[in-house]
Each structure stands twice: as structure tokens, then as C-alpha cells.
Amino acid sequence: MSRIAFASLQEECAYQLIAPPARRTFLASAAGALAAAFSSRAESRQSLHRDFETALAGVEYFVFGNGSIFAALQAARRPEAATHGGLLVMSPERFGRKFSTFLYVPERGLRNSRIGVWVNGVEYAPEPGSSEARWEYPDEIPTVTLAWPAGGCRVREQLWCPALEPALVRLVSVENAGSSPASVRLIARLDANRVLFDEYEVDRLEGVLTAVGYQRLTLFALLPALTGDRHLEVRLDSIPPGGTASATFVLLLDTPRERFLRRGLDRVRAETSECWRRRAALRTGHAGLDHLFRTSATGLRAAVALSGKMDGSIWQYNFEWVRDQTMVALGALLAGHDDVARRLLERILTRSVSEDGNTVEAGRFRTPETMELDQNGELLYGLWMWWAWTGEDILIRRYWPKIRAVAEYVLRPEFGFDETGLLKNSREFWERNPSFGVREGFELAYQVWNIA
């Protein structure tokens, strides 16, 4: 029974039991006070923490992942804008919004996704203005670094995803910049999204927290940790002036902790380093261009699931487009992510192209008069680029009937293919159709991509 219903029932019963003259003093009784308290709480409005919004002024995201887990560090320039240093985690195999990410809690947003650092009995967290989020590439591994002060100490967080494990690794280092010893404790919380996770497991002996529901999240430390109901505490004890101590936390998605420990962090990191060393590299001497290339390569790997599934816009559309996936496949090829490009193209050919050559837009097949005809040409171009770049023709051989259908589809009479060679229908590039007043005509993008 809801609080509102309970309060109403309790009040009704109380009025039936109390004589009319005594009803004026009803609120003075214990039962009346309790009912009033419930009613008061029921009348207060519950609202979502602002972290659910995606496009916030002064907020940027550091996106990283490996196809089996997606993560983003949220950096805010102002404390009122959003939770600075908040961590977003989700599976790239399932589309969602920010409020459906795994560490978002409606009342607190992403606050509990941050590491708490206690120095001499006082807790600190990263704050805008006094902290810095940036990309680093130790051993060529894309790593998000968050540096911030905590009392007389300097905290440095380094977050990265292994290449072959559905895991997020968080190394927290604390340097004592003061003149006296510092007693330091680290608090890592697993405050999982209540909508998605409704079961909780606490292993106090091993120091492991697990949230179970929509999927399975497991949090543990590589050092001994005291285990609370929803947090792990690692005590770094007394750090001398100038000294540094650190601890590593690991968050796993749908994978056993025993597997990760059996393989070991050193092995996992070595294979991740080797994986990124095999990717394309660009060194122009221009810091801005080099940064743009590396972050693009990192984002391309993070956005595409191992199945080749990709959201047309993270936390926004939650649909797939042949056009978008083809363009990302081209970018992945140039960044050295041949495996990502292949998965994207194969998913398109198996799930997003009909037998007659129609292509998926916004997760569905449209009628001929409202489909986006440029997608046919873009897919053909992407497949040609795949063959030219890799020299492999297995995809083309395997799916040749569909590829031929994609090419022939735009030659159908209803698209006006005549001696001019121009294509027409009632949908333009920005997806406006007859409901917006768009009439049948020629769209430039349709011509360019299909001629190319």
C-alpha cells in the first residue's frame, strides 16, 4: 500500500474511533501525528537529479569502453551544473538514456559513483575549479585522469577499460603534499540504479559488492577492503610527507570476479596495451589534431557493441541508422579498428537491409516514398572501402544477394530513375516528410551518394 493510501486509511479509521468533540485534538494524538507526517511527505514533490540531462552547459564527457562495457566521466565547470567527476556506466548492447545508466540514482544523480577520499577524518570529493580531467595514454591505453586536492593531499584517479574484459579499472593514488603524516581512507560505493537492479549481494569475507537485476554489476578492490552494505573502504593508513599510496578498484559487468583475478591485472593491462599499439597512429606535430584523432579512435571503439549494434546518438535517439553505422565503420577503418568496422557492416547486412534492398532508418523500414535513399549509396561505398582497405571480400561474397538488392533498389520506377538519372521521393535529408509539408522532389544527398 502506498503512503498516501495508508495515511488516508489511517485517518479514516481514527475519525471513526474518536468521538466528534475529540476530533479537534486529533493531530495532538500519536496516531494523528503519524498520519499527518505521512501526508506531509506524500505532498512533497520528488524530482530527478539534474544529472539525467545530457546537453548541459559547461559539462563535457570523457567516453571510453571496449564494446562490452561503456563508460563516461562527467566533468562540470560549475558545481550547480552537474555532478563533477560522476561516472556513467552502461552496456553498449542495450540503448538507454542518462537516467537509465547503471550508477544513476534519481535522488542523488551520480554523486555516489565518485570515490570518496577521507584525510584525517574529513571526506573530500572532486570539485570544479580545483580539479582537472584530461586524457592520458600510458602504454598507449586511453586513460581518463582526474586530479584533485583533498586536504593536504593530491588525488589522482586513472580510469580505463581492458581490451578483452567487460570491466572498468580505477586506480586511485594519493600523494601527501603536506608537512605531517596523513591518515587516508578511500570509499568506493556501488549505488546501483534501483530501476534496473533490485537484488543486492554483500560478501564481507571477500570484500565484494554485487548488484543484480537487468544485468550484473560487481565491485571489488585489489587490496583488502572493509565491506559495508553499499561501499568498500580501503585504508591507506598513514602516508608520510611526500609519500604516495594507491588502491585499485574494479567494476565488472556480467562476468565472474574469479575470471578477472585468475587472469590478473598485469596480463589484462599488457594485452590492452598491445591491442592499442596495433591501432592506427597519427602524429602531426599539432597537439590539437593529434588529440582529436586519439579521442575519436577511443570514442569509436566505445560506442560500438561487440555485436555491431550502435546508437544513432548516445542517450538520445536509441535507434539504429544504416547511414550512421556506415559512417562509423569508415571512421573505424581509418582508425585501425578493422574488427569494429566488420561488425558494423555485418550487422547492417543481417539486420538492417531487407531482401529487396530497403534500409533501416530510426530502427525501422520506411515506405518507399519516405525512406532515406542516400543510405543505399552510403552502404555500397562503405563496403567498397572495407574491401579496398582490408583486401578481404568475405563479407561481399557472403552477402552478395543483399548487396545487389541495395544497388538495384534505387533503380525502381517509383523513384523516377529515367534518362536524368536523378532520384526522387517525399523525404529529405533532415528527415522531414509530407507531414512537414515536403512534396515529392529531388534531394541532393540522394543523388550524391548513389552516384558516388
Instruction: Tell me the per-residue pLDDT of 119-150, one tens digit each, with 9 for 90 and over.
Output: 999 999 999 999 999 999 999 999 999 999 99
- Is the predicted pLDDT of residue 339 greater than 70, yes or no? yes
Average pLDDT for 26-38: 48
Give the pLDDT confidence score for residue 443 in this predicted structure: 82
- Is the predicted pLDDT of residue 9 greater than 80, yes or no? no
User: Helix-strand-coil percent breakdown of the chain, rounded to 5?
Assistant: 35, 25, 40
- Is the predicted pLDDT of residue 261 greater than 50, yes or no? yes
- Is the predicted pLDDT of residue 302 greater than 50, yes or no? yes
Question: What element of type H or E holds 383?
Answer: helix 374-390
Choose the weakest-confidence range: 151-155, 276-280, 424-428.
Answer: 424-428
Average pLDDT for 101-113: 96
- Is the predicted pLDDT of residue 15 greater than 60, yes or no? no
**pLDDT band at 359, cuts 50/70/90?**
very high
Q: Record the pTM.
A: 0.87
Average pLDDT for 170-197: 97
Average pLDDT for 227-244: 96
| Cα–chain center distance at 391 | 33
Give the pLDDT confidence score for residue 175 in this predicted structure: 98
- Kindly report the three-state secondary structure assignment for every residue of 332-376: HHHCCCHHHHHHHHHHHHHHCECCCCCEEECCEECCHHHCCCHHH
